[in-house]
């Protein structure tokens, strides 16, 4: 059964889906790359340690990732054609709810303004997946998410290794565990095209900055909350921010 699903998934990705991924996922890789002019520049001294441009960008990126991967997880739970795809959807929902909770806790402590919408490119990822059905939905959504998770993984490691801010370090710890979990469940769907994914992860082209930047939240607008889903039966252990 697994062998058959792997074969079908590879054929789907190798056909029309390849063009979709090349046009949408491949350029979107830049959405998780550092955009600040000097990531190591200290922009604030806090009781939890210095905050750099890279630290701030990382918090915003984690928030932005949740704003498109959480709804795509909901789509996977609704539209996934296999138990494995639905399980991946559950992990995306629960994992990003946990990350979002920590982002919303530490952002005010660090005076970071969080976006309420994902980047235009990330919003297109959701729209592209939503337009598919059946196995093609599975392959489109799984490969988009596997590329973006694979690209952010080394970014998390770099932040974790370099940051001297304890709150950002806690977020990097949780993000590392969450992204690894998501990579694992996405690969278990059997529809990931590893050759294509690896190519897209390592050779991203350039896109206009406005496609890669989350729209600024409107002044006074309530912060969008990614609702925790304990009913899905997956536990996460979001750390409590240190008092300093």
The string of pLDDT tens digits covering residues 74-123 is 999 999 999 999 999 999 999 999 999 999 999 999 999 999 999 999 99
The tokens for 24 are: 């949408």
Query: Is there a domain that residue 75 lies in?
Result: yes
Nearest to 46 by CA among 113, 104, 111: 111
Domain that holds residue 142: 2-26+52-215
pTM: 0.83
Domain count, the chain: 1
Find how far residue 136's CA is from the centre of its chain: 21
**How many CB atoms sit inside 10 A of residue 124's CB?**
19
Query: Is there a domain that residue 35 lies in?
Result: no
Helix (H, G, I), strand (E, B) or coil at 37: coil
Query: Is there a domain that residue 236 lies in?
Result: no
Query: Is there a domain that residue 31 lies in?
Result: no
Query: Is there a domain that residue 161 lies in?
Result: yes
Find how far residue 46's CA is from the centre of its chain: 27
Is residue 148 within 8 Å of 31, Cβ to Cβ? yes
Query: Is there a domain that residue 225 lies in?
Result: no
- What is the spatial distance between Cα 222 and Cα 237, in angstroms, rounded to a whole number? 25
Find how far residue 219's CA is from the centre of its chain: 25
- What digits encode the pLDDT tens for the residues 184-217? 999 999 999 999 999 988 876 678 888 989 999 9
Computed over every residue of the chain, the mean pLDDT equals 85
The tokens for 129 are: 């997946």
Q: What is the CATH number of the domain that holds 81?
A: 1.20.1260.10
* Dihedral pair phi/psi, residue 202, rounded to 5°: -105, -10
Measured on CA atoms in the order 74, 76, 77, 78, is the torsion positive or negative?
positive
Query: Is there a domain that residue 194 lies in?
Result: yes
- What digits encode the pLDDT tens for the residues 127-136? 999 999 999 9
Task: Give the single-character DSSP code of 15.
Answer: I
- What is the spatial distance between Cα 133 and Cα 17, in angstroms, rounded to a whole number? 12
Residues contacting residue 27 through CB under 8 Å, at least 6 positions apart? 121, 204, 205, 207, 211
Measured on CA atoms in the order 200, 204, 208, 213, is the torsion positive or negative?
positive
The per-residue pLDDT for 223 is: 92
Nearest to 140 by CA among 22, 220, 4, 237: 22
The stretches of the chain forming alpha helices (DSSP H) are 2-12, 18-28, 53-79, 83-109, 120-130, 134-162, 166-187, 194-202, 209-212
């Amino acid at each position: 059964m697994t062998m058959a699903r792997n074969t079908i998934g590879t054929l789907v990705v190798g056909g029309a889906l390849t063009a979709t991924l090349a046009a949408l996922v491949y350029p979107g890789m830049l959405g998780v790359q550092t955009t600040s002019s000097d990531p190591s520049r200290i922009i604030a001294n806090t009781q939890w340690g210095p905050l750099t441009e890279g630290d701030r960008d990382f918090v915003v990126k984690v928030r932005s990732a949740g704003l498109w991967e959480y709804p795509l997880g909901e789509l996977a739970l609704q539209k996934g054609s296999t138990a494995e795809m639905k399980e991946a959807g559950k992990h995306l929902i629960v994992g990003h709810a946990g990350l979002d909770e920590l982002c919303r806790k530490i952002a005010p402590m660090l005076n970071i303004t969080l976006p309420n919408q994902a980047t235009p490119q990330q919003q297109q990822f959701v729209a592209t997946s939503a337009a598919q059905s059946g196995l093609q939905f599975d392959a489109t959504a799984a490969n988009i998410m596997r590329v973006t998770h694979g690209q952010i993984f080394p970014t998390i490691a770099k932040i974790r290794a370099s940051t001297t801010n304890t709150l950002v370090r806690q977020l990097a710890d949780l993000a590392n565990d969450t992204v690894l979990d998501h990579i694992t469940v996405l690969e278990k769907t059997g529809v990931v095209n590893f050759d294509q994914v690896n190519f897209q992860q390592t050779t991203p082209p350039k896109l206009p900055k406005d496609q890669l930047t989350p729209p600024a939240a409107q002044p006074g607008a309530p912060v969008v909350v990614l609702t925790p889903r304990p009913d899905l039966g997956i536990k996460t252990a979001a750390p409590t921010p240190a008092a300093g």
